[in-house]
Structure 1
């Protein structure tokens, strides 16, 4: 059995609705949103449509019966996808919807069954502090062990079925994420709900997209934190596992060095993320963003299916790299990981204990809010230096696929757009929070992501 959450935290959570039920208190805690991202509702609708079309196009263009764009460009991808979208596939079927729903139920069951410790999140603006169960890593290990056990006992057939029908699972995830987002939007009108400051515009299209409620929960089950880590990251490795089995089957018993690299890189990233699960509790997604379609689709659909396109491509088009190319790609991955993890650990240690010997030498500026902003070490090089390391790793994941197709490179192309957008969002929020202190900080650390370039 899991250790029970801290009593004080439970009381704080249970009093949240009681403290915010009066109209005056609710209005004060949930002011109307005055600024909108993505150009408001029209931009949100455009992102909604574009994300569906892009992911469908890439999966249709990289089906077992196609060339996955080898020797072709973006124009081929678009024209082929339009033709196929016009009627070749009947995307929705009960089997795929059932399989994806069972996958989510499996993860929910693991959350409740697998033991885990409880940690407190950040203090909310209504004075409460929520507790979160930390057991994503053992849930991942159990899931992968189950996959290995099924492979050893039943054989390759279940995984080959999933690989060959992945497009239908993508469509099922589309539908379920849309339904879940609608349910979350409607539930956010309950009395006493704490809303996200960015999702209370009154426009249903935009609020559905961006997320209206800050911390949707069922008892102690935090839906946003669950969605943030488990369906996407754990699902990503399960899809990769299916691709490895498919390559082994297609090649008559061989796993290429390129497939090994992709599997190792991405598995390491996921294991590292879940091993540091408490760190997600201080991220923008958890602290400030509501849970709407953007986060729901991102974690139920985009992460597991688009981030795994490299393994899918290599399952259909195996590639041997040789020792020297493998070493070069490994070196690039190591550089990216070093920047990403070192920067994040440095900031996390400084936040927890500025007197820690590992960070006490770092220079900082004090702000009127009481916060301290690092101006030396990794964070003196660029204001979001961790994004640089993250993007370098994304490139390393794609290089094992060679340069025969654009399909494996969807992730770094999308990722650079995402990181720049997140950096701009964070800049805006920090400017509002710190005011003149943030302008002073920007003068000391002028570079956004890449030192001396951007």
Structure 2
């Protein structure tokens, strides 16, 4: 039996949020989410925040190394904030829920506050914080005279990835996190704490460990990174190469959700039961998002490869991503099997490979 925290302050706070009609358990409607992204683009918010920060540094209101200098304080404060936010969001969705399952996975699917989709808000905050931590680490490395090829490549790879995310933020409206995951501690902590403070492990490591990266190794890392993005050939006639791994899978799934009749690689899409796509990347993958995760691993491996020779710590990221990939695939399998039943069984016969063809 779950025990309840009989704190009068907490009960008062929760009652205020229960009465607030602007905090609602929204439904993950693609059109509504698309409208939110169009009206408040994340890229514009990022550029505005970068501009204000640059102004603050120029005016002497802050130092460019302030984030790197106070990393531990920021980590602990953000962790406490994520716990408080989880309490508010979960308690506003279901009264007196203290069970671990609901606290971890959440109760509400797409809660909104004053018209703001909280999932997108937290994801944006985490991605922006990732970039700001990296830029602060870069400034600290520059002042210490330790900027070398490894630091430049790391900053370039991460910066490209983050900016690319905001440019193609529209694709997030059809991803697992938005349409299926409820907003609980797992997502709040993951977005606000895990993304900015663990995805920068390589940057922190490079700050305290000077290393020289050979030119050949730099070229190899760039090739791996570019393969993960597959932006090697921007020709419209070679679109299947352009989006081979990363954007192709996400874009394909997103466009199918918007228009189920949209052509896949120039041909009509093949669909099972009128709902499940078996064309394009779905021919070899049960869920096209896993192609995205595979390319993610390639890009992460590129970032870690140039420091992994000296330490195993930077390999935390690809190791975590592999575990997440398998865990999410198993959860997706259970969810889709329950939702689609016989249609899912037919789908699995046509698409037998879960992640990697002929392997798993």
Into which bin does the TM-score normalised by the smaller protein fall? Answer: 0.7 to 0.9
Matching of residues 120-199 of structure 1 within 5 Å: 122-123=28-29, 132=36, 133-154=39-60, 158-189=63-94
Q: Does 2:99 match 1:204?
A: yes
Between the aligned partners of 1:327 and 1:424, the Cα distance in structure 2 is 36
Within a 5 Å distance, the mapping from 1:311-350 to structure 2 comes to: 311-338=203-230, 339-350=245-256
- Asked if 2 retains the 8 angstrom alpha-carbon contact of 1:121 and 1:281, the reply is no
Corresponding position: 1:224 with 2:119? yes
Are residue 373 (structure 1) and residue 268 (structure 2) matched?
no
Separation in 1, partners of 2:55, 2:305: 31
Question: Deviation digits for residues 244-294 of structure 1, max 9, x if unmatched?
Answer: 01111122xx52111111111111111121112222222222222221111
Counterpart position of 1:352: 258
2:326 counterpart residue number = 420
Q: 1:165 Cα deviation (Å)?
A: 2.2
**Are 2:133 and 1:239 equivalent residues in the alignment?**
yes
1:281–1:325 distance in 2 versus 1, CA, 3 Å: same
Shift of 1:317: 1.6
Q: Which moved more, 1:267-276 or 1:239-248?
A: 267-276
For residues 166 and 389 of structure 1, what CA distance do their matches in structure 2 show? 29
Contact 2:221 2:302 in 1 (8 A): yes
Match of 1:213 among 91, 95, 108: 108
TM-score (norm 2): 0.80
Kept in 1: contact 2:28–2:178 (CA 8 A) = no
SS of match in other structure, 1:158: coil
Count residues in correspondence: 316
CA distance change for structure 1 residues 345 and 215 in 2, over 3 Å: closer, same or farther? closer
Report the Cα distance in structure 2 between the residues aligned to 1:412 and 1:261, rounded to whole angstroms.
17
- Report the secondary structure of 1:428's partner residue: helix
Contact 2:171 2:250 survives alignment (8 Å)? no
- Root-mean-square deviation (CA, aligned residues, Å) is 2.6
With the length of structure 1 as denominator, give the TM-score of the two structures.
Answer: 0.64
Q: Any unmatched runs of 5+ in structure 1?
A: 1-40, 42-119, 191-199
Shift of 1:411: 1.0
Partner deviation per Cα, 1:55-112 (whole Å, 9 max, x = no partner): xxxxxxxxxxxxxxxxxxxxxxxxxxxxxxxxxxxxxxxxxxxxxxxxxxxxxxxxxx
Distance 1:356 1:189, change over 3 A: closer
Alignment of 1:22-101 (within 5 A): none
Are the structure 2 counterparts of residues 129 and 166 from structure 1 closer, same or farther at C-alpha, using a change threshold of 3 Å? closer
- The match for 1:436 is 342
**For residues 399 and 142 of structure 1, what CA distance do their matches in structure 2 show?**
33
Contact 1:365 1:441 in 2 (8 A): no
The offset of 1:362, in angstroms, is 5.5
- Separation of aligned partners in 1, 2:335 and 2:351: 17
Instruction: Find the aligned partners of 2:66 and 2:258 in 1 and give their Cα distance.
Output: 47
Q: CA deviation at 1:341?
A: 1.3
1:392 match: 298
Please give the alpha-carbon distance, in whole angstroms, between the structure 1 residues aligned to 2:105 and 2:261: 38
Q: 2:159 corresponds to which residue?
A: 267
